[in-house]
Amino acid sequence: MDLPLSRQCLHFGVCGGCSHQHLSCEEQIIEKQKVLESLFAPYWMEPIAVTPSPVRWHYRNKIDPSFAFKWYAEAPPKGFPRETVLGFKEKGRWRCPLELQECLIAPVGVDRLFPAIREWIAAQGLTAYHSRQNQGYLRHLLIRDGKRSGERMVMLITSPGELPDAAGFVDAIQSSFPATSIYHGVFSGRAEVAFAEEAFLLHGKERIEERMVILPEEACGPDAPAVDTPEDFLREDQGNEDCLHFQISPMSFFQTNPLAAERLYGAIRGWCNEQPAELLYDLYGGMGSIALQVADLYPRIISVEEVAAASADGRENTARNRVDTIDFVTSTVQDIFTKQPLAAGLHPEADVIVDPPRSGLHPKALKGLVEWAPARLLYVSCNPARLQEEMGALTEVYRLESLRAFDLFPHTPHVEVVAAFRPS
């Protein structure tokens, strides 16, 4: 597949997703660098290098468009049956769903899957769920793929109730977007989230596999090359055997752009390898993606994650990769500073990596880190503005040693930042 750099999605300007598609990827990198340097100017005066994503298009391994009722500029008569729409929200208009025809950052092939799903829905007479009225059936369509494995997963998330014509649903997917794993997920709450309380396997394997290559730090700099699509990338990336294997379940968290995450993790590995301690704390550790990347560098790693299912995935993946040095602790990060037995064993000479969600560190976690002041701290942030807000507290006891960025989200304003600290 050949997508020119100037190509824009059919929905560009209307969809709330890729706001930077009017710029080349090189221009996007420059823009992100300027924003970061302005944002962190009070704390960092040097240039901030931005490592590009290795692929420009179809880099995401997961999307979860929602079902909603079509919005009309003029309200239709009372009782008029609104059509069910599958897609995202329009930019700045959360009431207006966008009928998605293509998505140039989604897994390859979703443009064939969407019409097949719509045809099956129409044949079954199914309609979207309406959260305010607490009525309706269809909620989200969760789509995943493994960039290196080629395996795919599709889950239809609905309100409670048996899935009509499950065999027809499987056929609709297999004829348009052949999948390794197909699920029916059920969610009974009113929140508009792509989450399933129960998951029923309709076809194939319970999990899909993904592989991630362990890269040396020198392959992860701002001059690293980029190509258009995952297919282009994999054609040029033959013979790399040093990799990790992951099993991904429907609700697992996994890096959205795994090929770019390999470069991020390579940089993290470089930091760890500079002067590794005897112990690493991996806070907000998820399913252990970072811990596994650096497991050979530490005699012991403690990964702390509050989602029990993620900890369970981590234990399974460590066993799959024959790693026995990682302890998975299911706890909030803030609790490790106040509850036994971890609180009594927090070693100041340890290395610490924190990779919090977009909301940043919990206030009690930030306070605990400042009081703990471990020998080395690496902060991985998907929300640079939030990290900048926390810099005041962190720099009371830490010295910022380096600051770099990784473009995990081309065509969007988002960027991942990695900040290295030592006690001042």
- Structure confidence at residue 283 (pLDDT): 96
Distance of CA 92 to the CA centre of its chain: 23
- What does the domain layout of the chain look like in residue ranges? 25-57+214-242+250-423, 62-208
pLDDT at residue 239 tops 70 = no
**CB-based contacts of 84, cutoff 8 Å, min separation 6:** 67, 68, 69, 70, 121, 126, 127, 128, 138
How much is the mean pLDDT over the chain?
Answer: 92
| Token pair listed for 303 | 């990964």
Q: What is the 3-state secondary structure (H, E, C) of 40-69?
A: CCCCCCCCCCEECCCECCCCCCEECCEEEE
25-57+214-242+250-423: CATH architecture: 3-Layer(aba) Sandwich (3.40)
- For residues 267 and 217, is the Cβ–Cβ distance under 8 A? yes
Question: Each residue of 124-163: b (16+ CB within 10 Å) or e?
Answer: eebbbbeeeeeebbbbbbbbbbbbbeebbbbbbbbbeeeb
- Structure confidence at residue 5 (pLDDT): 46
62-208: CATH architecture: Beta Barrel (2.40)
pLDDT digits (tens, 9 = 90+) for 152-171: 999 999 999 999 999 999 99
How large a percentage of the chain has pLDDT more than 90?
Answer: 79
Kindly report which listed range (36-40, 181-185, 226-230, 378-382) carries the lowest average pLDDT score: 226-230
**Alpha carbons 190 and 179: distance in angstroms, whole number:** 29
**Alpha carbons 303 and 276: distance in angstroms, whole number:** 16
Q: What is the mean pLDDT of residues 324-351?
A: 84
pLDDT at residue 7 tops 70 = no
Facing residues of 269 across strands?
none
Split at pLDDT 50, 70, 90, the class of 4 is: very low
Beta strands at 181-186 and 152-158: parallel, antiparallel or unpaired? parallel
- Structure confidence at residue 342 (pLDDT): 65
pLDDT digits (tens, 9 = 90+) for 285-304: 999 999 999 999 999 999 99
